[in-house]
């Protein structure tokens, strides 16, 4: 790999051991994948070390204590608890106390304590073509697809990029790897795609076919931002999709021809109503008439507008006894929602507005429940409007799930039963 003089100096320790180690890891990583040089990175979305993973918090605290400092704007992904109201979610107190230690470490490193999977909703919208490094699959795919910024799946290397401002020039940072590979012709009536859960289901179907490649989607109505976020999250759940193109919607392809850069699609698929319905059938495992003990919204984290909608739907109503109802968002949006009265309306109905975390990342995972002597599975039957939540909670929490629209989630929370 060809390094600049600045990069060589960093590698040999001119800026301290932490930077030298990070550069060494990045250079080895780039060499392994044939990268010819490092790129300057403008922004990082950082892996928020979680207490549910052994040693993760301690490692973060140690890294900060060694003097690690970020050199680019850096936000943080989700934790395993709501740090501002930790005990509200039922997390074991020792686990909450352990998790809280990471916040000071992040702040001392210069990392912004956003703790969200949707940093784009807080104004972190990198410019078209900018090179960034990100964790969190739903953020990665949104940055690449909706904004035209460029990132790979950063993983642990995002830590090294944050303290060096560098990343190997490879993968989705290169033009040739952003070309579409599969064409999906959607024939679903537009009225069926006027809801968040429907876009999630569509993404889940396509991701399961395309795997880790680049789908190009035609025949869909122009999506709202929240639909696009849910769609991308679903693509990255059933597959490992990092980039998609919707000609005329996403910025890198005005036409199908643009998306494929003059090449022919490797495969062409049609997606109709039947394919969409099959996703709901797969996600719906709760027997009809069964009691529901958990309802959750906000995967990925809800926007202020989505919180407003939930507040309007819940105002003056009551969640059924025995039902936990989480509406997940980031801490900054929750404060906005508090000022506007949305939190009062949601929590007045018996639901809980949760920040910094979500059920997927929480103490309710089966492994954590067993470790702390909690009921396993912690949830029996969960209803959600997110296919990502449905899939991962089924796997990680071990509960039965149902995927429905947002309004139906709220109806179930009030009735306490799956009808």
* pLDDT < 50 positions in the chain: none
Q: What share of the chain is helix, strand, coil (3-state, %, to 5)?
A: 45, 15, 40
Helices (H) and strands (E) in the chain, counts: 16, 13
Q: Could you give the 3-state DSSP secondary structure of residue 410?
A: helix
Helices 406-415 and 304-314 meet at what angle, rounded to 10? 40
Q: Which two tokens stand for residue 278?
A: 């099959």
- Between the alpha carbon of residue 184 and those of residues 47, 107, 225, the distances in Å are 32, 44, 20
Give the chain's length: 419
Q: Which two tokens stand for residue 12?
A: 């040999």
Q: How far apart are CA 358 and CA 341, in angstroms?
A: 22
Residues β-bridged to residue 218: 185
Find the DSSP H helices in 165-303: 196-210, 225-238, 256-260, 273-283
Q: How far apart are CA 198 and CA 408, in angstroms?
A: 13
Residues 6+ apart with CB under 8 A from 316: 349
Cβ atoms 126, 32 nearer than 8 A = no
Helix (H) or strand (E) holding 99: helix 93-109
- Between the alpha carbon of residue 140 and those of residues 63, 153, 226, 375, the distances in Å are 24, 7, 15, 34
Pairing of strands 166-168, 38-40: antiparallel
Q: How far apart are CA 394 and CA 360, in angstroms?
A: 9
User: ∠14-18-23 over CA atoms, to 5°?
Assistant: 75
pLDDT of 32: 97
Q: What are phi and psi of 291, to 5 degrees?
A: -75, 145
Q: What is the pLDDT of residues 88-99, one digit of tens each?
A: 999 999 999 999
pLDDT of 419: 86
Query: DSSP label at 195?
Result: S
pLDDT of 317: 97
Q: How many CB atoms lie within 10 A of CB 133?
A: 31
């Amino acid at each position: 790999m060809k390094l600049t003089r600045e990069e060589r100096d960093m590698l040999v320790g001119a800026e301290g051991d932490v930077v030298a180690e990070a550069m060494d890891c990045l250079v080895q990583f780039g060499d392994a994948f044939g990268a010819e040089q490092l790129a300057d990175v403008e922004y990082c979305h950082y892996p928020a070390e979680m207490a549910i993973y052994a040693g993760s918090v301690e490692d973060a605290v140690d890294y900060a204590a060694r003097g690690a400092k970020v050199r680019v704007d850096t936000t943080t992904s989700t934790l395993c608890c709501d740090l501002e109201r930790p005990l509200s979610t039922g997390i074991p107190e020792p686990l909450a106390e352990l998790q809280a230690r990471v916040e000071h470490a992040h702040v001392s490193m210069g990392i912004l304590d956003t703790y969200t999977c949707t940093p784009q909703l807080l104004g972190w919208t990198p410019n078209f073509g900018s090179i960034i490094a990100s964790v969190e699959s739903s953020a990665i795919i949104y940055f690449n697809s909706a904004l035209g910024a460029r990132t790979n799946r950063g993983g642990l290397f995002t830590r090294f990029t944050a303290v060096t401002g560098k990343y190997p020039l490879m993968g989705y940072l290169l033009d040739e790897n952003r070309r579409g590979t599969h064409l999906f012709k959607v024939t679903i009536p537009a009225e069926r795609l006027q809801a968040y859960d429907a876009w999630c289901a569509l993404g889940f179907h396509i991701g399961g076919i395309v795997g880790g490649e680049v789908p190009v989607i035609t025949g869909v109505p122009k999506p709202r931002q929240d639909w696009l976020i849910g769609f991308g999250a679903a693509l990255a759940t059933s597959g490992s999709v990092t980039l998609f193109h919707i000609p005329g919607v996403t910025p890198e392809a005005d036409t199908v021809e643009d998306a494929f850069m003059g090449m022919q699609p490797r495969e062409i698929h049609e997606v109709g109503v039947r394919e969409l319905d099959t996703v709901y059938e797969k996600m719906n495992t709760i027997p009809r008439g069964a009691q529901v003990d958990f309802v959750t919204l906000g995967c990925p984290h809800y926007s202020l507008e989505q919180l407003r909608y939930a507040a309007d739907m819940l105002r003056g109503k009551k969640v059924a006894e025995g039902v936990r109802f989480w509406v997940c968002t980031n801490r900054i949006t929750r404060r906005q929602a508090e000022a506007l009265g949305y939190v009062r309306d949601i929590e007045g109905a018996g639901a809980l507005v949760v920040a910094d975390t979500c059920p997927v990342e929480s103490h309710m995972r089966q492994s954590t429940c067993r470790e702390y002597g909690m009921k396993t599975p912690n949830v029996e039957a969960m209803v959600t409007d997110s296919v990502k939540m449905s899939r991962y909670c089924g796997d990680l929490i071990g509960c039965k799930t149902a995927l429905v629209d947002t309004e139906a989630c709220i109806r179930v929370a009030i009735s306490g039963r799956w009808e």
